[in-house]
């Protein structure tokens, strides 16, 4: 299965070493995470541009769940609609529901707590091809756990696309 990140993501504490273009991209990714409308449009356009040559008519787009339902809806509902309209694919947003809250991964949650155990997945994804979308890939633990959950319930995950992959600047 292919995992692909469109951009490098430089964590905030290391941004002083990033180029202006990297800082701008990171700001847009963080604005997307915050649910800002312009950033959702930017993300849908960028991912749509990257995937436009792929044959995705049989694929369902599913976003990796956020830490709670409120954040999941704020971040992904409109974005998912925009991206699916661009690509001509089925929108799997309503197939996922986050139940309760979990601590965010970057806030020091224990590994097993931050994974996708508090997610209800609709049986309508059984037997379907799924393309996952997420904002930032750091270790891959959350997306890998979600892929296992989807596969266990009968979906075929054909790939995952991320807006950014965390890159750390090294000091000499």
Position 172 scores a pLDDT of: 44
> Which pTM does this prediction carry?
0.88
Question: Which neighbouring-strand residues pair with 162?
Answer: 5, 134
Q: Which two tokens stand for residue 10?
A: 């430089």
Instruction: Report the C-alpha gap between 38 and 101 in whole angstroms.
Output: 27
Residue 71's SS3 state is helix
Q: Can you give the pLDDT at residue 112?
A: 46
Segment 32-59 shows an average pLDDT of: 96
Residue 15 sits at the vertex; the CA angle it makes with 9 and 17, to the nearest 5 degrees, is 110
Whether the pLDDT of residue 119 is over 70: the answer is yes
Domains of the chain and CATH, by start: 2-166 (3.40.50.2020)
Confidence tier at 12 by pLDDT (50, 70, 90)? confident
Is residue 113 over pLDDT 60? no
Q: Which residues of 147-159 are buried (b: 16+ CB within 10 A; e: fewer)?
A: bebbeeeebebbb
Least trusted range by pLDDT, from 46-55, 99-108, 128-137: 99-108
> Which tokens sit at 101?
């809250």
Q: What is the pLDDT of residue 151?
A: 96
């Amino acid at each position: 299965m292919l995992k692909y990140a469109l951009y490098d993501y430089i964590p905030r504490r290391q941004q002083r070493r990033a180029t202006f273009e990297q800082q701008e991209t990171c700001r847009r990714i963080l604005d997307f995470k915050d649910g800002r409308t312009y950033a959702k449009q930017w993300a849908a356009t960028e991912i749509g541009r990257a995937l436009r040559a792929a044959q995705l008519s049989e694929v369902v787009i599913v976003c990796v769940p956020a830490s709670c339902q409120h954040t999941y809806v704020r971040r992904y509902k409109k974005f998912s609609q925009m991206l699916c309209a661009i690509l001509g694919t089925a929108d799997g947003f309503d197939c996922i529901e986050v139940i309760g809250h979990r601590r965010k991964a970057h806030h020091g949650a224990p590994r097993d707590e931050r994974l996708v155990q508090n997610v209800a997945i609709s049986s309508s994804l059984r037997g379907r091809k799924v393309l996952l979308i997420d904002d930032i890939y750091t270790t891959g633990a959350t997306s890998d756990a979600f892929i296992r959950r989807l596969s266990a319930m009968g979906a075929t995950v054909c790939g995952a696309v991320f807006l950014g992959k965390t890159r750390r600047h090294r000091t000499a």
